Amino acid sequence: MPTRFSLFLMIAAFAVPQTLLMGQSDTTPPTLVALSYAASIDVSAAAQNLAVTSTITDDLSGFNYGYIEFTGPSGQSFNGYFSRTSGTNLNGIYSATVAFPLFVEPGSWTTSVFLYDNAGNSITLQSATLITLGFPGTLTVVDSNPDTTPPTLLGASFSPSTINTSGGPQPVTLSLHVSDSQSGVVFNFTSCVVNANLARAGATASEPLEVWNSNFTLTSGTAQNGVWQATVMMPQYSGGSWSLSSVCLSDAVTNHVSLTSSQLAAMGINPILTDTSAPADTTPPSLTGLSFAPTIIDTSASIQNVTATLSASDDISGVYFGLFNATYYWLDAEFVSPSGNQSVFMQGIYNSPAPIAGSPQAGTWQLHFQWPQFSEQGTWTMNYIDLQDAVGNYAYYTPAQLHTLGFPNTIVVTKPSLTPDGTISSAGGTVDDNSFGTRASVTFPPGLVSTPTSVSIDVFPSPLSVPTPTGFTMPGTYFENLSFNPNLPEPIPAPGITIVLPLLTPMTPGAMLSLYHIDPIVGLAPAMNAFGNPVVGTVNADGVSATFNNVVTFSTVVAYVSTGSVLGDVNGDGKVNCADVSILKSSFGTHTGQAGFNSAADLNNDGTVNILDLFIVSRQLAAGTVCH
């Protein structure tokens, strides 16, 4: 039993190195080093292009993209994206061109700069900040003939006004009669991302049908007074009464107006589209299954892909993930980093993937996420998942709801520094961690490697968010990543290597711990020794480290404190035999929350009874055992 003083020393020894253990991780946004452009422009007689030059740096992942935006006194705005003219994405010279058309408003415009790096970090530098940093923060615009009035909506209509989509999607033309003085109406992304939204009467959990600017064309008149039309493909089974829930209009100098349904009604503009489809789909889809693979990734060397397998059902129109002609719906989901500053969206939403099993009414899909290199270390949480059907009914799942349903919603990003702590030759030897010393080391036997091999030992500052396996109380050691260059073949040939891990808190010398490793494919699993058995180690005499011998599978490792049960003993009778296999088989393939799920059979405690649990049991059976 340590004295209070020695215990204090031990705790201090654990605490001090943590700041050294963070490793490479890009959590800072790019830096604006220089910025210049002309102090004023005059658009009285002609449109002007403003040339901008800047220098941008980034510490690790590199500058990805950014833009400069100028905002006029009433809110008119124009921007230009940076393009590199020399240097690298870590330190480069960039130019941007901002086009100012005729009729923009005069006065002092404010400047904003938006910068994003490849890891997803971003920064917005507003005018005051730019000035504080010594950069220009305003632009003087001269114009003797400005346009400061937004467009006016004079009328709207659907043609035809009655359809029946029970046999399939039906086209409908939406006409908007719009006027604007001077600069004229435009349909682009600058001010109005969506120009019109159609909502179904009485639908509470239904996304509006969105009509985008690219669908509108001028069919009569001029930009100053004309009729613009867009074709909307109404989805099958979209029965009900549809109306305009909002309209957004902009002119060429970005004067814009957004009209709500009540404002439209007050203007006497309230066209109705009636779909007589029977049946009509008014029920949102339902998420019935969700899993991710892998659940632990390392982005220190490259981007990493994660596949989501999702099962869902919808009663009539079916689950829909992609675009639908002029309008669109999608399944969307977002993972957010521990700090909240980085996020990852689902990939491949542009083409609705076909189900890999079943049908849109009851199917299974595989979807993809991609983490940038140097992503923030730690546990990323799925912020939401938005599941929709083909007519826009949606089900929005929060993290709490996903948890209640028993679905996973986290991905762990590890970030080893990969900084070598030493080199081992063909003669073998020991390498100690530069931070933890002898409490974190690796020992190679002679002949294991034929060429000098560098060893990188990275002790993670905090435990990874992986479930503690069944039969164990908690991690007894830090998580530690071991990297070798050149890589070693796995499993390592007998007799394997010896690993020493630092304990999280002091333990009694001689106490036993079970070693686990994080497999890049299957996740947390028992580490195996050269004899084909799970590795069990003991706490060293110092009480602050534990030694594990003959290890042949490793990568990221951690050791757990046992509750005293036998590994693989599902029924708790102290033995591992066919009775345990029988129990495990009866709940095989089930997940947390499902009927038949047996937590005792979920030996790795990942929420699913599967082959990883069965491996733990089958490996403990005597060779030749036949279980019926």
Between CA 535 and CA 532 the distance in angstroms is: 9
Task: Tell me the closest approach of the beta carbon of residue 412 to another protein, in angstroms.
Answer: 11
By beta-carbon proximity to another protein, the closer residue of 157 and 379 is 379
Size of residue set near another protein by CB under 8 A: 90
Between CA 281 and CA 198 the distance in angstroms is: 16
Task: Tell me the closest approach of the beta carbon of residue 548 to another protein, in angstroms.
Answer: 15
117 sits near another protein (criterion: CB under 8 A): no
Nearest to 385 by CA among 319, 446, 474, 449: 319
The set of residues, in sequence order, having a beta carbon less than 8 Å from that of 192 and lying 6+ positions away, is 213, 248, 249, 250, 256, 258
Task: Tell me the closest approach of the beta carbon of residue 462 to another protein, in angstroms.
Answer: 17
Tell me the CA distances in angstroms from 266 to 281, 396, 452, one per residue in order. Answer: 30, 32, 80
In the structure encoding, which two tokens stand for residue 502, read together? 């630092």
**Which residues ranging from 283 to 322 are in contact with another protein (CB under 8 A)?**
291, 293, 296-298, 300-301, 309, 311
**Which residues ranging from 321 to 350 are in contact with another protein (CB under 8 A)?**
323-328, 330, 334, 340, 343, 345, 349-350
Token pair 């699913």 is at which residue?
608
By beta-carbon proximity to another protein, the closer residue of 179 and 618 is 618
By beta-carbon proximity to another protein, the closer residue of 102 and 525 is 525
By beta-carbon proximity to another protein, the closer residue of 23 and 146 is 23
**Which residues ranging from 472 to 501 are in contact with another protein (CB under 8 A)?**
481-485, 487-488, 490-491
Whether 397 and 331 have beta carbons less than 8 Å apart is answered as no
**Which residues ranging from 555 to 594 are in contact with another protein (CB under 8 A)?**
555-556, 581, 585, 588-589
By beta-carbon proximity to another protein, the closer residue of 403 and 619 is 619
Task: Tell me the closest approach of the beta carbon of residue 311 to another protein, in angstroms.
Answer: 7
Whether 427 and 446 have beta carbons less than 8 Å apart is answered as yes
Whether 554 and 517 have beta carbons less than 8 Å apart is answered as yes
385 sits near another protein (criterion: CB under 8 A): no
Strands (E), 373-451: 378-388, 394-397, 410-414, 422-424, 429-433, 437-444
Q: Looking at 36, 83, 347, 533, which residue binds another protein (CB under 8 A)? A: 533
Between CA 503 and CA 618 the distance in angstroms is: 30
By beta-carbon proximity to another protein, the closer residue of 147 and 433 is 433
By beta-carbon proximity to another protein, the closer residue of 71 and 483 is 483
Task: Tell me the closest approach of the beta carbon of residue 621 to another protein, in angstroms.
Answer: 5
The set of residues, in sequence order, having a beta carbon less than 8 Å from that of 204 and lying 6+ positions away, is none
By beta-carbon proximity to another protein, the closer residue of 309 and 401 is 309
**Which residues ranging from 409 to 448 are in contact with another protein (CB under 8 A)?**
414, 416, 418
Task: Tell me the closest approach of the beta carbon of residue 306 to another protein, in angstroms.
Answer: 13
Task: Tell me the closest approach of the beta carbon of residue 108 to another protein, in angstroms.
Answer: 26
Using the contact rule CB under 8 A, the part of the chain among 10-18, 46-54, 83-91, 525-533 near another protein is: 525-533
Whether 123 and 341 have beta carbons less than 8 Å apart is answered as no
By beta-carbon proximity to another protein, the closer residue of 14 and 554 is 554
627 sits near another protein (criterion: CB under 8 A): yes
611 sits near another protein (criterion: CB under 8 A): yes
Phi, psi of 404 (to 5 degrees): -60, -35
Strands (E), 314-377: 323-324, 327-328, 332-336, 343-347, 357-359, 362-371
By beta-carbon proximity to another protein, the closer residue of 137 and 318 is 318
Using the contact rule CB under 8 A, the part of the chain among 97-105, 170-178, 422-430, 618-626 near another protein is: 618-626
526 sits near another protein (criterion: CB under 8 A): yes
**Which residues ranging from 161 to 180 are in contact with another protein (CB under 8 A)?**
169
In the structure encoding, which two tokens stand for residue 590, read together? 């089930």
Phi, psi of 129 (to 5 degrees): -65, -40
Between CA 295 and CA 409 the distance in angstroms is: 9
Q: Looking at 9, 171, 189, 276, which residue binds another protein (CB under 8 A)? A: 189
8 sits near another protein (criterion: CB under 8 A): no
Site string for another protein, 216-235 (x = CB under 8 A): -----------------x--
Task: Tell me the closest approach of the beta carbon of residue 532 to another protein, in angstroms.
Answer: 4
Between CA 518 and CA 521 the distance in angstroms is: 8
Using the contact rule CB under 8 A, the part of the chain among 25-33, 37-45, 85-93, 515-523 near another protein is: 515-523
623 sits near another protein (criterion: CB under 8 A): yes
Q: Looking at 554, 559, 561, 602, which residue binds another protein (CB under 8 A)? A: 554
Token pair 């990969």 is at which residue?
418
82 sits near another protein (criterion: CB under 8 A): no
The set of residues, in sequence order, having a beta carbon less than 8 Å from that of 582 and lying 6+ positions away, is 627
Task: Tell me the closest approach of the beta carbon of residue 340 to another protein, in angstroms.
Answer: 8
Task: Tell me the closest approach of the beta carbon of residue 238 to another protein, in angstroms.
Answer: 14
Point out which residues pair with 443 in neighbouring strands: 430, 498
DSSP per-residue codes, 124-189: EE-HHHHHHTTS--EEEEE-SS------EEEEEEEESSEE--TTS-EEEEEEEEEE-STT-EE-ST
Whether 465 and 452 have beta carbons less than 8 Å apart is answered as no
In the structure encoding, which two tokens stand for residue 489, read together? 């073949």
Point out which residues pair with 368 in neighbouring strands: 307, 347
Task: Tell me the closest approach of the beta carbon of residue 63 to another protein, in angstroms.
Answer: 17
Q: Looking at 51, 128, 201, 356, which residue binds another protein (CB under 8 A)? A: 356
Task: Tell me the closest approach of the beta carbon of residue 436 to another protein, in angstroms.
Answer: 17
